């Protein structure tokens, strides 16, 4: 399962997901509770403090974080995660 999260409202996320043709859900973390837990909230003095750090998390079936990705190349990111998921599953 793939989930995305942002600090935007439900409506903002809905519009963004439609525009980007996302095939997965976006969660609205407007109070930044989830963001705090995952360490994606930027410090108050950061010029982009209103935005979450662009990180992805691969969560193993046991519920533990198997890998954290700092997303720099959006286009290559999905392939990287899928390759790691295959390794995690033991698929060759």
Say yes or no: 6 and 46 in one domain: yes
Q: What share of the chain is helix, strand, coil (3-state, %, to 5)?
A: 35, 20, 45
Containing domain of residue 10, as a range? 1-50
Say yes or no: 37 and 61 in one domain: no
pLDDT of residue 2: 87
* Other residues' Cβ atoms within 10 Å of the Cβ of residue 83: 10
- CA 47 from centroid of its chain's CA atoms: 20
- pLDDT tens figures, 38-90: 999 999 999 999 999 999 999 988 899 999 999 989 889 989 999 999 998 88
Say yes or no: 7 and 30 in one domain: yes
Say yes or no: 10 and 26 in one domain: yes
Say yes or no: 14 and 33 in one domain: yes
Number of domains composing the chain: 2
Say yes or no: 40 and 61 in one domain: no
């Amino acid at each position: 399962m793939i989930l995305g999260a942002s600090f935007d409202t439900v409506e903002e996320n809905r519009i963004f997901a439609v525009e980007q043709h996302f095939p997965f859900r976006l969660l609205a973390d407007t109070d930044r509770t989830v963001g705090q837990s995952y360490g994606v909230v930027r410090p108050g003095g950061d010029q982009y403090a209103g935005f979450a750090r662009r990180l992805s998390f691969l969560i193993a079936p046991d519920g533990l974080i198997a890998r954290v990705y700092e997303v720099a190349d959006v286009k290559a990111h999905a392939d990287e995660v899928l390759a790691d998921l295959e390794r995690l599953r033991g698929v060759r």
